Amino acid sequence: MERIDGKKISSQIKEEIAQEVEQLKEDGGKIPHLAAIIVGHDGASETYVGHKEKACQQVGFNSTVVRFEDDIAEDTLLRKVDELNNNTDIDGIIVQLPLPKHIAEQKVIEAIEPRKDVDGFHPINIGRMVIGLPSYVSATPAGIVELIKRYNIETSGKDVVVIGRSNIVGKPISILLSQKSESGNATVTLTHSRTKNLKEIVSRADIVIVALGKAEFLTADMVKKGAVIIDVGITRVKSDKTKSGWKLLGDVKFDEVSKKASYITPVPGGVGPMTIVSLLQNTLKSAKGEIYSRI
């Protein structure tokens, strides 16, 4: 069994991005600029945005964080998105989710200019991804594909089971792995809460991707020996064994499943660290005009 070390791979990618940004500076090119909007004071959102700011600094990006109180009017937020859309120095825009209940998240997502939608949530980017056109792929699926590439895990002709059908992870990763591409050509089964005989379906899989948000859902009796296990889930549970009083669990019962797996991602330290570097990669692509012509 080999652990898939997302922390190590993410550090390598940051170094690669930093070198590319340094070359852009030397050549007089555009320095990538990421803008993040955060509404309210949700602890997890604050932490995530803080990590993005730090990551931008590490690789030489410019970054801007726009903060609003949670009682902001939807129209005010949309005007700020439009302002960033029209700011030619901004290459990427993200709006940190979740938003307060009085704001329509999908409306805000669709207000972002697709050329700056480095989160990859806009329907235009999703549509382009589905039909195989260049697009910004959302961070977690992009991070999973990157891990598969860097560990030389074969996907062509393999049976893949994805557990969870969210628009952010499950659906896009199922499409990416089934496409005719270097890290695709797999036969993918997308399962969910209404799937019958889930254990039987999963037990035939060469690669299992679990994105449910249910702690330790996948157990050893559900997977075959030698399977590749990608754990996307992260749940915070109380623990009397840690100083903080909490610990993080994935969707996979790691201790027992790891004994049967050929490759497995731990939680934390697996898929998680790849999300921010995927966002950086998309912002760099935007600055260089690799997906769309640069604005």
* Residues forming the active site: 52, 96, 119
| String of DSSP letters for 146-179 | HHHHHTT---TT-EEEEE---TTTHHHHHHHHHS
Q: The dihedral of CA 81, 87, 88, 89: what is its sign? A: negative
Q: How far is CA 58 from CA 5, 10, 18, 140, 250, in A?
A: 20, 12, 7, 20, 28
Q: The dihedral of CA 276, 278, 279, 283: what is its sign? A: positive
Structure tokens at 215: 């702690």
Which amino acid, residue 180?
A: K
* Residue 251: count of CB within 10 angstroms of its CB: 26
Interatomic CA distance for residues 284 and 21, integer angstroms: 8
The residue assigned the tokens 């302002």 is: 83
Interatomic CA distance for residues 249 and 147, integer angstroms: 20
